[in-house]
Chain A
Amino acid sequence: MVMLAGIVTFSVGLTGCGSKSTNSATTDNIDKDQYINIPIDKDNIKTLDPSKATDVASGYIFQESMEALAREEVKGGKDVFVKAGAERWSVSSNGKTWTFHLRKNKWSDGKTVTAAQYAYSIKRTLDPNIASSYAYLLVGAGIKGASDYNSKKGTVDQVAVKAVNDLTLEITLDKPCAYFEKLLSGRLFLPQRQDLVEKYGEKYGTTYDTLVYNGPFKITELQGGNKVVMVKNESYWDKKSVKLSKVTMPFMKDENSRMNALQSGEIDSVAVNTQEWVDKFKQIGKFNQEVGDQPDTYFDFYNTTTKYFKNAKIRKAFSLALDRQDYFKLIAKGIGKPAYSWVPYSLQIGNDIYRSKVPEQLKGSKEDPKQLLAEGLKEIGADSDPSKMVIDYLLPGTDVSNKEQGDYMLNVLKTKLGVTVKCDYMEWAQYLAQIDKGKYDMCFTDWVGDYNDPMTFFDMWETGAKIENNGWSNKEYDALIEDAKGTMDQSKRLEDFQKAEKILLQDEAIISPSYFKGKNEFVAKYVKGTESPLFSMGKELKYAYTSGRDK
């Protein structure tokens, strides 16, 4: 998933629902009034239509108000993939057919949640008339008939997603997919109600009352630019675990406002982006600090069709010119980790953390960027004087953080390599259009993983993938990725990914990673029971509660 560079981690506040007596595992008194306030760092969400909503904020709202086949939780300090909408599932011996046995659950309007609704949802996302930006994930996973249907070459009936009966869902793939299971907690596998879609037509998803909810909470108010309000969903199958009676998510785009709101007690948790605020909140002493990784890499990439960046040595020179430690302290403000490789720390391959198995490629590189540049310039027969090089650097926004990024790179590339950089700040829509047209030399952006498998960071660079148009095509790379897609053998896949990462960063140097985004949240001490799984869209509130709020 592409995010606007500089977007703050979507931080969720937890409001605890108080449930009476039985469930508290602690001896503290649970507050009588169980509610929580967590800010959304955006203006608004685009839509509540699960097939069309692509942003993190709506993903978070879905996480709390709906239930997919699985749910990300944290048990015993470890991230677990909990069976949620489905009680259990199994895959056939040839790895191609997945069968899901659903749990008994009801929608907030009392109707039963059925397998047909999950099937309908998947097919709807693939519907070419809906033109969902996420259809590619379903197609990439290899669901039979998905690709044809989505590109109008086939019919919806040919999509191999079937409700065998009310509580059994069957999905057939073209070939085994090693990461298919990892997709199950995402919005692609939320059920949708066909009757409501047909009833509201175009208006479906534009207001909260055009949907019903099957998750821990249901939405009772949504005012764009103001706030989202949810209450405990009494129809939810696991409602006895839910202690909060009310969750409020105010939209707070301005960073200062969020910081002020935490101090004044209006919100219960916030994600922090600078060291100064970290120190300040620590000093106030009323909050717990939560630090962690995020599956989000910030990086520069090069347009390999332009004069200078055709050459791999020149690209590498630019990549190595960056002093990642210095950059990390200054631009990333010390939150997260400097990135000497592409795949972030949080991603797992199988049960292992990818990064623990694959050392960071660019660390300890001994090559001299200036020399590389000189060699590269010679290879393309250009003037050996670097000051004659003028590079267009495209940035995805006009706000302060993008300006800092631009100023910094301008400075670095001038002092380390002697090249002149012109920064082009653009609004998001325009920025995307420029990239698609290939009108840039170098570009800054970030990439957020869609699911917990390294593949989400690799399939975007395949030939023909239209995620970032950089004119790069490499047969060896493609072969490695196809291999990793087709096998279930995790150690083989690890090897493939490792080789692929080397190609991306060292041999071809088509990208220059800058830093891995981190999470640094401050949560009021009276908030308990929240969970922050890595691939969740925000704090999991299902088990949360408050204790000691008004002390």
Chain B
Amino acid sequence: MIKYTIKRFIYMIITLFVIVTLTFVIMHAIPGDPLASEGRNLPTQQRENLYEKYGLNKPLSTQYVIFMKNLILKFDLGESYSYPGVTVNSIIKEKAPVSGIIGGEALLFGVVIGIVLGIIAAFKKGTGIDYVVMFIAIIGVTLPSFVVATLLQYFFTVKLRLFPTTGWGEMKHTVLPAIALGFGQIAIYARFMRNSCIEVINQDYILTADAKGTSNIKLVTKHILRNAIMPIVTMFGPAIASVFTGTFIIENIFSIPGIGRYFVSSITNRDYPVILGTTVFVAVLFIISVFVVDILYGLIDPRVKIIDKM
């Protein structure tokens, strides 16, 4: 177990290293200049001053080395180009939790409702209820999130005045964005839950329990849930990381100061440090959460032997 952990840890570091390098290279391959709008009206000398200040006039390899040195030694992700004087670390510290909250709520929303729908559909497999339930779940996936968000905003803020249109600060600001985001995820979890429940339901031990007269609710909570939930757990890993970058549209519409939005605008503004910094951050999250999930998976499901996995 320890050996496995160490091995995975080393792989994680290597992976991270490769990701950062790759992103660095790709980023600089994009045409466009982060200081284009700053450097416009300036006489040549000053333009050069600006480039020097940000280290942009050095060859790529030197810039890369500087960045990696700062990253590894000081965990310093540099300073933003678009927002003079603001460090990438502070941006991430401020904005990431915001996206995390929305994404987390959305995930919860999607998972809980998805699981419930999936279980119902599995029990009533083949009947009308099965189709109705899955249909409801799928509707969420078929509508683009910006459509859902716009509709929600119109109905619940203008017509019904229940929630604020935009902003951030209190619980009520998180409701609509979370629903809009979570809507599309219901189907994924519902489908997986349904399939895995069907498999489990067909097992002998369930038949035995049922024959013994166990109530449906108890069947679900005691036997089915734990076994059927495995695929969903495996999905958690990637889901957690994507929470941070997938919120862009929602943040735009609801004026949420999250990192998704910052990230996309940093790409369009060619704000290299923010792009790199956010990539590193999300990649780290992703890798760690996959790792944790794998360990959990091994712990929960006795059929999976971690040692043999490699």
In the complex, A touching B (Cβ < 8 A): yes
Residues of chain A touching chain B, judged by Cβ–Cβ distance below 8 Å, are 43-44, 46-47, 49, 52, 128-129, 131, 133-136, 150-152, 202-206, 223-227, 250-254, 256-257, 260-261, 263-264, 266, 426-430, 432-433, 436, 466-467
Known A-B contacts A225-B251, A226-B255, A429-B269; the reply to A47 vs B40 at CB < 8 A is no
Residue in A closest to B254 when the chains form the complex, CB atoms: A257
Question: Residue B270 at the A interface, CB < 8 A?
Answer: yes
Q: Decide: B255 and A260 in contact? CB cutoff 8 A.
A: no
Cβ contact within 8 Å between A261 and B166: yes
Whole-angstrom distance between the Cβ of A147 and the nearest chain B Cβ: 9
A151 touches B82 (CB 8 A): no
Tell me, yes or no, whether B252 is within 8 Å of chain A by CB.
yes
> Are B85 and A429 in contact (CB-based, < 8 A)?
no
Contacts of B154 in A (CB 8 A): 256, 260
Contact partner, B85, options A136, A202, A226, A264, Cβ 8 Å: A202
Contacts of B46 in A (CB 8 A): 128, 131, 150-152
Q: Given A254-B252, A257-B254, decide whether A427 and B32 contact each other with a Cβ distance below 8 A.
A: yes
Fill in one digit per residue for B141-158: 1 if any A CB lies within 8 Å of its CB, else 0.
Answer: 000000000100110011
**6 additional A-B residue pairs with CB within 8 Å, beyond A150-B43, A206-B85, A261-B166:** A204-B85, A225-B262, A226-B255, A250-B255, A252-B165, A430-B36
Shortest CB–CB separation between residue A5 and chain B, in angstroms?
A: 14
**CB pairs A–B below 8 angstroms (23 shown):** A47-B83, A131-B46, A133-B37, A135-B41, A152-B46, A202-B84, A205-B84, A225-B95, A226-B167, A250-B166, A250-B167, A250-B255, A252-B255, A254-B166, A257-B153, A257-B255, A264-B157, A264-B158, A266-B164, A427-B269, A429-B268, A433-B31, A436-B36
In whole angstroms, how far apart are the Cα atoms of A202 and B80 in the complex?
A: 12
Q: Which residue of B lies closest to A439 (CB)?
A: B31
Choice from B45, B251, B253 contacting A256 with Cβ under 8 Å? B253
- CB–CB B253/A254 < 8 A: yes
Q: Could you tell me the distance in whole angstroms from the C-beta of B149 to the nearest C-beta in chain A?
A: 9
> How big is the B interface, by class?
35 or more
Point out the residues of chain A lying under 8 angstroms from B49, CB to CB.
128-129, 131
A226 near B153 with CB under 8 A, answer no
B161 located at the interface, meaning its Cβ lies under 8 Å from any Cβ of chain A in the complex: yes
Q: Which residues of A contact B150 (CB under 8 A)?
A: 256
| B168 within 8 Å of A (CB atoms) | yes
Q: Given A47-B83, A133-B42, A433-B33: A223 and B168 within 8 A (CB)?
A: yes
When the two chains form their complex, are residues B95 and A260 in contact, meaning their CB atoms are under 8 A apart? Answer: no
> Are A225's CB and B261's CB within 8 A?
yes
> Which residues of B line the A interface, CB within 8 A?
31-34, 36-43, 45-47, 49-50, 53, 79, 82-86, 95, 150, 153-154, 157-158, 161, 164-169, 251-258, 261-262, 265, 268-270
Q: Is the CB of A151 within 8 A of B43?
A: yes
Q: Are B165 and A46 in contact (CB under 8 A)?
A: no
Q: Could you say which of B40, B157, B262, B270 contacts A436, with CB atoms under 8 Å apart?
A: B40
Contact A131 B255 (CB under 8 A): no
Contacting pair A52 B84 (CB below 8 A): yes
Q: How far apart are the CA atoms of A434 and B64 in the complex, in Å?
A: 25
Name B265's closest neighbour in chain A (CB-CB): A43
Contact A429 B270 (CB under 8 A): yes
Nearest 7 CB-CB pairings of A with B? A225-B257, A430-B32, A432-B36, A427-B268, A206-B85, A202-B85, A261-B165
A433 touches B36 (CB 8 A): yes
* Distance in Å: Cβ of B121 to nearest Cβ of chain A: 35
Do B85 and A225 have beta carbons less than 8 Å apart?
no
Assembly CA distance A256 to B166 (angstroms): 11
- Within 8 Å CB of B265, what residues of A? 43
A252 to B157, CA, bound (A): 15
CB-based contact B268/A227 at 8 Å: no
CB B32 to nearest CB in A, in angstroms, measures 4
| A206 with B31, Cβ < 8 A, contacts A427-B269, A430-B36 known | no
Identify which of B39, B43, B158, B262 gathers the most chain A CB atoms within 10 Å of its CB. B43
Whether B255 contacts A432 by the Cβ 8 Å rule is no
Q: Which residue from chain A places its CB closest to the CB of B163 in the assembled complex?
A: A264
| Contacting pair B261 A266 (CB below 8 A) | no
CA distance A355 to B177 in the complex (A): 48
